[in-house]
Amino acid sequence: MEEKVKISILCEFYGNLLTKKQYEFINDYYNNDLSLSEIAENNNITRQAVRDNLKKGEKKLFEYEEKLNFMKRMLNQEKRIEKILSELAKIQSNYSDKKVANILENVKKELNCLI
């Protein structure tokens, strides 16, 4: 997974644990696609100060993930759900009973909502 995407996801999980500025800068940089210069200008600080805050915030996000593993668990859960959906599709294609087909379709819909 690309580093920017990883940090963006980690920010979703752990962003509230960062300082207000760290969260704002990470959100602006990774989710709103602002440059360091733009963030610095918006906050009347130097580009270096923005970079320092970003690096500290990123470090904290990775520390939280290392201890809590929310992102890792979520990604593993998504893989398992996709595998279950694949198995359901196999069953559905080999089964002709309408009731069972409807039940399988409902289960697939519910699982898709979890991804």
Query: Which domain, by its residues, includes 84?
Result: 74-114
Q: Are residues 64 and 81 in the same domain?
A: no
Confidence at residue 111, expressed as pLDDT on a 0 to 100 scale? 87
Residue 72: is its pLDDT beyond 80?
Answer: yes
CA–CA dist 22, 27 (Å, integer)? 8
What number is the average pLDDT over the span 26-47?
97
Q: Do 8 and 30 form a contact (C-beta atoms < 8 A)? A: yes
Q: Are residues 38 and 82 in the same domain?
A: no
Residues 88 and 105 in one domain: yes
- Here the CATH number for the domain that contains residue 7 is 1.10.10.10
Model confidence at 5: pLDDT above 90: yes
| pLDDT score for 16 | 96
Quote the pLDDT of residue 10: 96
Q: Is the pLDDT of residue 11 over 90?
A: yes
Please give the tally of structural domains in the chain: 2
- Shared domain check, 85 and 49: no
Q: What is the mean pLDDT of residues 53-59?
A: 98
Query: How far, in Å, CA of 80 to CA of 15, rounded?
Result: 26
25 and 43 in a single domain? The answer is yes
What pLDDT band is residue 13 in, cutting at 50, 70 and 90? very high
Same domain, 61 and 82: no
User: What integer is the mean pLDDT of 66-78?
Assistant: 92
